[in-house]
Amino acid sequence: MTIHTESPFQVMAKPIGPRCNLDCKYCYYLEKEDLYSQTKRFEMPAEILETYIRDFITSQANLKGTDIWFNWQGGEPTILGVDYFQKIVDLQAHYAPKGKKIRNALQTNGTLIDNRWARFLKENNFLVGISIDGPEEIHDLYRYDRAGRASFAKVMAGYELLNKYGVEHNILTVVHRDSATRPLEVYRFLREIGAQFIQFIPIVERSSGAQKLAPAPQIDEDRVEYKVTPWSVLPRTYGRFLTTIFDEWVQRDVGQVFVQFFDMQLGLFMGQPASLCVFAETCGQGLALEHNGDLYACDHYVYPQFKLGNITQKPIDILANSPEQKEFGNAKRDTLTQQCLGCDIRFACNGGCPKHRFLKSKDGEPGHNYFCRSTTHFVKHAGPTLQVMANLIRAGRPATDIMKIIRQGQAENRSHSGLQAQSIGRNAPCPCGSGRKYKHCCGAHSVNR
């Protein structure tokens, strides 16, 4: 069988399905068990696993780059055990093409990581994403097991083992309504435990008050009056969460701690295309694969209406490049509200994730993003600083020079960050050190472009 891929795509494979040993209050994926109510055992069978690995490798073999990435999620994938993942590694080695390197990313809650797991992950060069929401009090607010027991101690034990064995890892931090009001407490804790790569994930879900969460806005045919859940982060609070952490990060941690949201925004200010679907003009290149081979348009769209097919019945690249999936991805761009289309900072979000487009715009148009205020607040606050950083990089200087510039600005009694646009005269020397006037340098690339 020959497989040809028209465009690159990634798959979030869930060999364990939605099964998890935790019962986090805010988790949107646990209820996906209802989609497979007849399933007694959530585990991707060997024949489907081999089909996926073989066909995905083949679909990526002729693309540019040397790495082929597999992303394993759940549920909690470590429930399957080390032996199951050893089979995965063995299959990958069997089908690996010459000149390509197979890489694996594993998302885990960390509670089941022991010495054997940590040794396996290190030996096989896995990149691990571990979920830590902050210090114990904050983490345990919503992350507990099915008996209601706190998970922080087990998570930190697993995290320490990852460090002990030198496993490459990132930290994923869900930002909920409570933690959003304590930004520095969260950030400083993560920094103190040695976090180098941090991904903040703002949580927002809707409910009618019943047990089940609201579906995606695009399939809300019943037009039920949904309200955001009590744990959902508030837009303005999340905006302040980001700017508060940014002000601390940009003064002392640039080059030492990498925050995905800040890195992504810096790239956008440099005119680079967004590598993360949330900020990209279109989406549809990050699919979700369930334990039985069902392929869905996106991890946030695991609903029957967005099921593309099953990889045992049709090759994965055909499904990923189907007209239905292309339409799904293009809809991110084609369904923007007029408020979005006329926004001068649209480049910084491109309307955000369609799953979060359930508000009305200022003109009453449905389909506006819940996090619009968050992004607007952040970009208006951090934009001048990000523009200076972008210009530093363009000039061949390290982004870390921003910290020196800020210290100089503070010494001259400027604003707290030294780079707020209103504190720099248009005819003053640009703080990026170019020697040009601010109005002809960073000031010429304001966020109001």
User: Which residues are designated catalytic?
Assistant: 299
223-231 — which CB contacts under 8 Å span 24+ positions?
Answer: 226/358, 228/204, 228/370, 229/26, 229/204, 229/205, 230/177, 231/25, 231/26, 231/142, 231/176, 231/177, 231/178, 231/203, 231/205
What lies within 8 Å, CB to CB, of 436 at 6+ separation is 429, 430
* Residue in this structure with the two tokens 């690249």, named with its chain if needed: 317
Helix/strand/coil for 271: coil
For residue 75, whether the previous peptide bond is cis, meaning omega lies within 30 degrees of 0, is: yes
Length of the chain: 449
Bridge partners of 307, per DSSP, are 296
Distances (CA, A) of 143 to 21, 160, 161, 183: 11, 18, 20, 18
Contacts of 96 (CB under 8 A, 6+ apart): 57, 68, 102
Can you read off the two tokens belonging to residue 114? 């022991």
Distance CA 446, CA 103 (A): 39
